[in-house]
Amino acid sequence: METTAFGASTAMGMFVGNAVVASMLGVAMFATPVGWVFAIGIGLAAGYTAAKIGDRIGKNVSATLYDTSANFY
């Protein structure tokens, strides 16, 4: 269960973090060093939040599949 949760959280965190940073590239935010710090901070915060949500979803899905498979015996 932990492996599934780790994989889901990593995938979601990377996807959201990259999406946030890529969306900020279109904005003139990277013109200053403060803009870079702000963009990286927002990307990290969004990625962390998505990773925590992915971890919870991964654990729930794998626990449900495990419990369901136990009923086949």
Residue 73 belongs to some domain of the structure: no
Confidence of residue 72 (pLDDT cuts 50, 70, 90): confident
Longest dimension (CA), the chain: 62
Full domain range(s) for residue 9? 2-68
**Does residue 32 come out as left (phi exceeding 0), alpha (psi in the -120 to 50 range) or beta?**
beta
Cα–Cα distances in angstroms (integers) from residue 7 to residues 37, 54, 62, in the given order: 28, 8, 12
Residue 21 belongs to some domain of the structure: yes
- The CB-side HSE value for 53 (13 A sphere, CA atoms) comes to 11
Structural domain tally of the chain? 1
Query: pLDDT by residue (tens digit) across 21-53?
Result: 777 666 656 677 887 888 788 888 888 888 888
